[in-house]
């Protein structure tokens, strides 16, 4: 609490000093003021109380700084009037209370940006490495690709934070480069993020082409669905059940999920039939994927005979 007040005091005091020196050429101001905040923080930490009490008004502090540094006086003599007006407007904004408060708060968001930029970099690289890959905000941990992406993100976050927390400040050129790189990451990530929402989750089996299948991923309680096992009501496993969605499109699962290979039946027209379940799948080592154990629900006792009877009726009838 107290330290937060102190941080705001430092940021606000520094902002006032910067405002008072806003007529300096930017490179000169940068050199003069680059560690002003650290310096003021030091004073605030050791002295306690408001900085203005200890150091005098920020404007006076700025004048003293200017004099000691040997910088040009703010007399406006050398300045283009239009330029001066612009600088004054900028100074008016940067001197305002809300700007100072926002500015004082921004550094606290830095660690969040370190994490975010790592995520974005991996996202951009993922998007760049494959066009067809259906990007999601959170990669699917059950696909090898998604898992790779998650691991890469974790590593990138660690590196990014280490980079952000480094002790040695960059030289001026490096600093500009770093700022530029950060902005680049944000700008490049924007279209990637924007395109993420436009990949519809109902992926299409393309109407005419048929070959380019952009399958969808279904999720059950335990994660991505890789296969569907239909059973009849009396518990018989069914095969070659064709599934369609509400639009009448074939319901096709992602063939890439979980390091499995799927052998689709090829139709008479030479096209794979992708929505016949259960899918015939093999592990990477070639072993076929086994049928899962399922627990069949007990049907209501009110119709124990009625429900099986339609299918079973042909067999008992000859015996009668």
Partner 1 sequence: MNQAELDTTQLLKGVLDLAVLAVLADADSYGYDVVRRLREGGLDNVGDASVYGTLRRLYQAGALNSYVVPSDEGPHRKYYGLNNRGRKALDQSAQNWASFSKALNHLLNGRSNGHGK
Which 8-state DSSP code applies to residue 264?
P
User: Binder to partner 1 among 46, 53, 247, 287 (CB under 8 A)?
Assistant: 46
* Residue 114 contacts partner 1 per CB under 8 A: no
Range 155-194, binding partner 1 (CB under 8 A): 167-169
Stretch near partner 1 under the rule CB under 8 A, chosen from 31-39, 131-139, 172-180, 304-312: 31-39
Whether 250 contacts 242, CB under 8 Å: yes
Q: Given the complex with partner 1, which of 21 and 124 has the nearer CB atom?
A: 21
* Residue 8 contacts partner 1 per CB under 8 A: no
Residue found by looking up tokens 């590196």 in the block: 159
User: Binder to partner 1 among 9, 16, 19, 61 (CB under 8 A)?
Assistant: 61
Stretch near partner 1 under the rule CB under 8 A, chosen from 64-72, 100-108, 196-204, 254-262: 64-72
**CA 7, chain centre distance (Å):** 30
* Residue 64 contacts partner 1 per CB under 8 A: yes
Q: Given the complex with partner 1, which of 6 and 274 has the nearer CB atom?
A: 6
- What is the spatial distance between Cα 141 and Cα 150, in angstroms, rounded to a whole number? 7
In 48-109, where does DSSP find H-type helix? Answer: 51-55, 58-69, 81-95, 97-105
Q: Given the complex with partner 1, which of 8 and 43 has the nearer CB atom?
A: 43
Range 207-266, binding partner 1 (CB under 8 A): none
**Residue closest to 110 by CA, chosen among 7, 251, 241:** 7
* Residue 32 contacts partner 1 per CB under 8 A: yes
Checking DSSP bridges between strand 241-242 and strand 265-266, what pairing results, if any?
A: unpaired
Residue found by looking up tokens 């008072």 in the block: 20
- What is the spatial distance between Cα 288 and Cα 305, in angstroms, rounded to a whole number? 37
Which 8-state DSSP code applies to residue 159?
H
* Residue 1 contacts partner 1 per CB under 8 A: no
Q: Which residues bind partner 1 (CB under 8 A)?
A: 31-32, 35-39, 41-43, 45-46, 55, 61-62, 64-70, 167-169
């Amino acid at each position: 609490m107290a330290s937060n007040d102190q941080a705001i005091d430092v940021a606000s005091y520094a902002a006032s000093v910067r405002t008072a020196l806003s007529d300096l050429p930017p490179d000169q101001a940068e050199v003069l003021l680059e560690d002003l905040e650290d310096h003021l923080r030091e004073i605030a930490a050791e002295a306690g109380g408001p900085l203005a009490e200890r150091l005098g008004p920020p404007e006076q502090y700025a004048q003293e700084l200017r004099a000691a540094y040997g910088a040009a006086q703010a007399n406006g003599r050398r300045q283009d009037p239009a330029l001066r007006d612009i600088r004054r407007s900028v100074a008016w904004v940067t001197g305002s209370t809300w700007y100072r408060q926002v500015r004082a708060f921004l550094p606290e968001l830095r660690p969040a940006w370190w994490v975010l930029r790592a995520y974005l970099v991996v996202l951009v690289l993922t998007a760049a490495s494959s066009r067809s890959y259906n990007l999601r905000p959170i990669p699917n941990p059950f696909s090898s690709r998604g898992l790779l992406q998650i691991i890469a993100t974790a590593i990138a976050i660690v590196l990014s934070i280490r980079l952000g927390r480094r002790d040695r400040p960059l030289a001026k050129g490096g600093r500009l480069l770093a700022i530029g790189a950060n902005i680049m990451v944000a700008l490049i990530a924007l279209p990637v993020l924007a395109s993420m929402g436009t990949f519809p989750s109902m992926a299409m089996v393309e109407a005419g082409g048929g070959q380019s299948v952009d399958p969808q991923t279904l999720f059950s309680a335990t994660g991505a669905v890789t296969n569907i096992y239909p059973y009849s009501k009396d518990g018989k496993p069914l095969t070659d059940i064709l599934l369609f969605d509400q639009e009448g499109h074939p319901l096709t699962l992602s063939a890439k999920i979980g390091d499995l290979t799927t052998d689709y039946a090829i139709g008479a027209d030479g096209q794979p039939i992708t929505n016949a379940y259960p899918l015939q799948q093999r592990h990477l080592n070639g072993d076929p994927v086994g049928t899962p154990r399922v627990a069949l629900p007990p049907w209501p006792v009110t119709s124990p005979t009625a429900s099986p009877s339609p299918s079973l009726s042909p067999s008992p009838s000859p015996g009668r």
